[in-house]
Amino acid sequence: MNRVWQNKHHLSSRKVSIPSTLSISCAELRATTRFYKPERGTILMHNTDITKLSLPAYRSHISLVSQEPSIFSGTIRSNILLGVDPSTPDIDTALHLACQQADIHTFITSLPSGYSTEVGARGIALSGGQKQRIAIARALIRNPKVLLLDEATSNLDSETEREVQRVFEESGKGKGRTMVVVAHRLATVQNADVIFVVDGGRVVEKGNHGELLGLRGVYWQMVSQFPSRCSGQYGTNSDAVSSASFR
């Protein structure tokens, strides 16, 4: 990833995390999904402007998990398999594995109807955490090249969040996956290879967690404000963008 959150945004085998307080984070995420076109600049995937790619083909390589996941009327199974080719070999095995990785399989199998349980309109029969886990399973089963996480673990407890984060990272290794993460918790950023700190729409700092702390600049101020495991939300006019390779 040569330049991030500047005029050109490159999607390659990286993990990009954005501790978000500003709309810039979600705007960039929506532009990456091609929900709308950027007013200026370009987003490149393998050095190709994503607006030049076939939209269905491009989106077939992307999974998005948002803070408020979209759950549709129907069964748990149909919600997770949404957009998955029904002729996929061993689809049930893949379904169960994704749910195990999202820490939702045990809950589903404890229900009388299991994966055939109706969730109701907008998943009214599920808690916020259960909805988010289902959305995470839906993202993982697609084995995406680009995984977009917009506060994807905000409704999970800290222990489950760490485990799900580990699954995201482990499942992407060796697959050339780009992971873009929008999160308030700075702890999500710390393990990244490279962190880009964005202030006023510009990249003002770049480096890994230790290097940025050594600069004692904007990132250091963000971490210092919430030193307790860097897990709190911060109040600042800056965002940090981090990236880590999955080789």
pLDDT score for 111: 95
DSSP element (H, E) containing 171: helix 158-172
Tens digits of per-residue pLDDT, 225-246? Answer: 866 545 444 344 445 444 443 3
pLDDT score for 228: 53
pLDDT score for 227: 61
What percent of the chain is predicted at pLDDT more than 90?
25
Q: Which residue has the higher pLDDT, 182 or 47?
A: 47
Residue 108 backbone dihedrals phi, psi, to 5 degrees: -65, -45
- 2-11, 143-152, 183-192, 213-222 — most confident range: 213-222
pLDDT score for 33: 84
Q: Which residue has the higher pLDDT, 200 or 100?
A: 100
Q: Taking 50 as the threshold, does the pLDDT of residue 63 lie above it?
A: yes
- Number of Cβ within 10 Å of residue 46's Cβ equals 11
pLDDT score for 182: 72
Question: How many helices, marked H, and strands, marked E, lie in the chain?
Answer: 9, 10
Mean pLDDT for the chain?
77
Any idea how long the chain is? 247
CA distances from 76 to 86, 131, 141, 160 (A): 15, 10, 14, 20
pLDDT score for 21: 40
Distance CA 224, CA 50 (A): 38
Tens digits of per-residue pLDDT, 71-124? Answer: 999 999 999 999 898 888 899 999 999 999 888 999 999 999 999 999 999 899
The lowest-confidence range among 37-41, 187-191, 206-210 is: 187-191
pLDDT score for 230: 55
pLDDT score for 174: 65
Distance CA 99, CA 104 (A): 5
Confidence label for 183 from pLDDT (cuts 50, 70 and 90): low
Q: Is the dihedral of CA 173, 179, 185, 186 positive or negative?
A: positive
DSSP element (H, E) containing 129: helix 128-141
Mean pLDDT of 43-72: 87
Confidence label for 14 from pLDDT (cuts 50, 70 and 90): low
Q: Taking 80 as the threshold, does the pLDDT of residue 200 lie above it?
A: no
Confidence label for 20 from pLDDT (cuts 50, 70 and 90): very low
Q: Can you say how many angstroms the Cα of residue 234 is from the centroid of all Cα atoms in its chain?
A: 20
Sequence-distant (≥ 6) Cβ neighbours of residue 129 within 8 angstroms: 155, 156, 157, 160
Q: Taking 50 as the threshold, does the pLDDT of residue 193 lie above it?
A: yes
